[in-house]
């Protein structure tokens, strides 16, 4: 079930993060009013009917707890009467805009989850990307959210200016230590009119390629999943605004699918690599069949080039990621 997302662009944000053109990311430039929140939620209730209780009202796109307090309260007041009809409210904000007072205010309006834009746990990377907060701010904010008994979400980016696979892996390790419930992972995308755009055009920043981002994110997926952290987003939401303003970087409208396909590629490769070339059937969970095959049959084609003629088939008894390989007689 997806959230009822209400974007609050750049409201109250004093920063100028290297990657951010908030108006482009959120796809809107006007201030959302309390009245609009009310209409959005009314419409969502009637559209979703009895499925509404599994969707959350989500204030995203900005620095929710850093926006003008009066405006933030207006938005919460508009959303709070609907909170019980949905699965509560979640907000995303900056790590340095969280304290006990604001968390208790959020709780009084039925906010049950807070997501922190950590982006990196490497202070040098945070500084180079003008985040205006430190890794220690992330740790403190996580502790406060946990202490307040709220659900904790974290967001991280890969391939930021000054980052590399090692520092991104370190970020994931440090975030896992904070026991988040959920994580969103965003490979860096260079958008028009951002500082990264300037750095990229000046030849001072080389973004991750799509393939590098997929390789790294597959490792991160394994780390977060084995730590029991639910991955609720991989890659930016596909949108015409992003596509119109895309300059460079690891953007793909089905980024998550690419990563899941790569997991299957690796798993099959680990087992088949020790076997002679030939024809094989690889059985996978039926829900994962298209991921195992890959977009445009990518995995099948890659294996064929290596001498393995593979047919992927569904088998109900197999779990997600589990595979069973049969060598075909011919």
Residues that bind ligand SF4 (CB under 6 A): 10, 13, 15-17, 20, 22, 62-63, 94, 117
Decide whether 188 or 208 has the Cβ nearer to ligand SF4: 188
Closest contact distance (angstroms) between CB of 132 and ligand SF4 is 7
Question: Which two three-digit tokens encode residue 258?
Answer: 């690419």
Q: Which is nearer to ligand SF4, 16 or 134 (CB)?
A: 16
Q: Return the number of the residue (117 or 180) whose C-beta is nearest ligand SF4.
A: 117
CB of 15 to ligand SF4, least distance (A): 4
Paired with 91 in beta bridges are 59, 114
Strands (E) across 262-307 are located at: 278-284
Instruction: For ligand SF4, give the closer residue by CB, 187 or 294.
Output: 187
Smallest gap from residue 47 Cβ to ligand SF4 (A) = 29
- The least CB distance from residue 18 to ligand SF4, in Å, is 9
Cβ burial of 212 (10 Å; 0-12, 13-18, 19+) is middle
Q: How far apart are CA 154 and CA 115, in angstroms?
A: 5
221: left (phi over 0), alpha (psi -120 to 50) or beta: alpha
Nearer to ligand SF4, 117 or 153 (CB): 117
Residue 120 falls in which region: left (phi positive, over 0), alpha (psi -120 to 50) or beta: beta
CA 224 to chain centre: 12
Minimal distance in Å, beta carbon 62 to ligand SF4? 5
Nearer Cβ to ligand SF4 (13/55): 13
Instruction: State the nearest-atom distance from the C-beta of 117 to ligand SF4, in Å.
Output: 6
Are 110 and 84 in contact by the 8 Å Cβ rule? The answer is yes
Residue 122 burial (10 A CB sphere; 0-12, 13-18, 19+)? buried
Token pair in block for residue 248: 């460079």
Q: 13 vs 221, which CB is nearer to ligand SF4?
A: 13
Q: Which strand (E) or helix (H) includes residue 210?
A: helix 210-226
CB of 156 vs ligand SF4, minimal distance in Å: 13
């Amino acid at each position: 079930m997806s959230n009822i997302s209400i974007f609050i662009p750049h409201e109250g944000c004093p920063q100028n993060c290297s990657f951010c053109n908030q108006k482009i990311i959120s796809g809107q430039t006007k201030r959302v009013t309390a009245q609009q929140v009310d209409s959005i939620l009314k419409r969502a209730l009637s559209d979703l009917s009895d499925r509404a209780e599994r969707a959350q009202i989500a204030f995203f796109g900005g620095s929710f707890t850093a926006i003008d307090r009066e405006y933030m309260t207006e938005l919460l007041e508009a959303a709070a009467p609907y909170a019980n009809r949905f699965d509560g409210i979640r907000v995303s904000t900056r790590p340095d805009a969280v304290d006990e007072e604001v968390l208790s205010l959020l709780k009084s309006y039925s906010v049950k989850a807070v997501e922190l834009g950590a982006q990196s746990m490497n202070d040098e990377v945070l500084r180079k990307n003008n985040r205006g907060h430190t890794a220690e701010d992330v740790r403190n904010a996580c502790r406060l959210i946990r202490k307040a008994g709220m659900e904790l979400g974290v967001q991280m980016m890969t391939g930021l200016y000054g980052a590399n696979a090692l520092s991104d892996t370190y970020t994931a390790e440090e975030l896992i230590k904070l026991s988040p419930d959920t994580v969103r992972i965003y490979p860096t995308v260079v958008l028009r009119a951002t500082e990264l755009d300037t750095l990229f055009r000046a030849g001072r920043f080389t973004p991750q390629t799509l393939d590098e981002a997929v390789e790294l994110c597959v490792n991160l997926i394994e780390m977060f999943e084995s730590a029991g952290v639910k991955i609720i987003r991989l890659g930016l939401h596909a949108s015409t605004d992003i596509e119109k303003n895309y300059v460079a970087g690891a953007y793909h409208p089905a980024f998550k699918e690419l990563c899941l396909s790569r997991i299957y590629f690796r798993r099959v490769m680990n087992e088949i690599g020790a076997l002679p070339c030939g024809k094989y059937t690889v059985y996978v969970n039926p829900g994962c069949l298209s991921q195992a095959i890959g977009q445009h049959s990518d995995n099948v084609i890659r294996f064929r080039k290596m001498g393995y003629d593979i047919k992927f088939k569904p088998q109900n008894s197999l779990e997600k990621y589990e595979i069973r390989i049969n060598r075909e007689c011919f």
